[in-house]
Amino acid sequence: MKRTISALTASVYPHDAAPEERLQASAFLLLCTVGGLAIFSSTIAKNPVLPILAQELGANAGVIGWVAAASTLTGILASLPAGLLSDRWGRKRLLLSAGVVFVSAPLAYVLVATPAELAAVRAYHGLATAILGPVAMAYVADLAPTHRGERLGWYASSTLAGRALAPVAGGALLTVGPWPWVYVLCGIAAGLAFLGMWWLPTPHASPPPTADAAARAPEHSSWMSLWTILSHRTILITSVAEASQLLAFGAVEAFLPLYALRVGVDKTTVGLLFGAQIGVKTLARPLMGKVSDRHGRTRQIILGLMLTGITTALFPQTRLALILLVLSAGFGLGIAIASAATSAFVADLAPEHGRGTARGTMSTIMDGGQACGPILLGMLLMRVGYPVGFAVIGALVMAAAALFALTATDPLPLQPPTEE
């Protein structure tokens, strides 16, 4: 642990750095802490307590699925507006608005009385992560004019650490006490994240605008940036490529446990499958980000997509727990390889004042992919077996890799068109 912290500090806090660089490094470390706490808070609210709470409120299996999906649906709707507004109003203001949701949502869980109310709370809580995701990543990109892939990788690893610790803490609390205890810890973590957001400085990705520029309509400039992003083929193709990975992730997360139990794998080992996956992603993201900084993004994205697609298709081809464990680790590595490069690639390509919009667009497409994964595989499994169903999902990821390889280019970052 000490070695990991030292590596992170050395990466973002060089001893000979100028005061401005040292301030940016401190802000980045604080942002990583905020991200880890916020994702811990949002994850412990759903895993493993959410289905238990929904069942106590009288929800059947179908309703529980919709309750679980409510927060993702909010992400699809809110990520792009959040990114766009962060470009116009500033990252910190949007992060603080997310912090208000993070802090207030735990109390709302305790007050619910019906499955419909629980779904509404999940949708409200999803607003927090919908804002945090694109805005925090854009903030990291603002703070990282160099080594962007590595910095984005460290931030992603901090959120993955929070995501990994939350189910363990939630399960422990459910073992020793009633379910409201989980939401007490959820609220404490959210409160700490909000304090960290309050202490964050306002990033300055570029010099402040001149008086003449400030007098020009900011709304028009925002819409110009949005049009630049939505018409940028490589940003959209990269977002689709990342969405294909999340489609596979959503499908694997929902149905790999059922397949593993069906072929005789015990529940403890099923948990290890996902522990290995998260562990590999957490450790590999910073390294893969650094590799993409040094050797380019496009080939790394293609490699990661191919590994993700192949391992997805191979899951139901074995009944051996050890091989499933290796495949799960390989699946996590594939996601880490590609996603470490996709986030940095989109940040590289986006206009300087449009990174929030670009990341919001990417998050919207990604959330759509993740929401579709379990739905698509579930429909397939109603008609075909696990081997064919998982093979179709893997083939879709491979198709996304082929599309990216054929169409994505590596130009200089674009700037929005200037007004005449």
pLDDT of residue 378: 84
* Distances, alpha carbon 168 to alpha carbons 8, 46, 69, 270, in Å: 25, 12, 22, 14
pLDDT of residue 412: 46
pLDDT band at 208 (very low <50, low <70, confident <90, very high): very low
For residues 387 and 281, give the distance between their C-alpha atoms in angstroms, rounded to a whole number: 25
Task: For 281-314, write each residue's pLDDT tens digit.
Answer: 888 988 998 898 888 889 999 999 999 999 999 9
Domains and CATH numbers, the chain: 19-201 (1.20.1250.20), 225-409 (1.20.1250.20)
Q: Which of 85-89, 170-174, 350-354 has the highest mean pLDDT?
A: 85-89
Task: For 111-145, write each residue's pLDDT tens digit.
Answer: 999 999 999 999 999 999 999 999 998 999 888 77
Pick the more confident residue, 374 or 33.
33
Residues 342, 272, 136, 169: what is their CA dihedral angle, to the nearest 10 degrees? 180
Q: Which secondary-structure segment (H or E) carries 418?
A: none
For residues 389 and 281, give the distance between their C-alpha atoms in angstroms, rounded to a whole number: 24
Task: For 209-250, write each residue's pLDDT tens digit.
Answer: 444 444 444 544 556 667 777 778 888 899 999 999 999 988
For residues 108 and 119, give the distance between their C-alpha atoms in angstroms, rounded to a whole number: 11
pLDDT of residue 279 exceeding 90: no
* Amino acid residing at 76: I
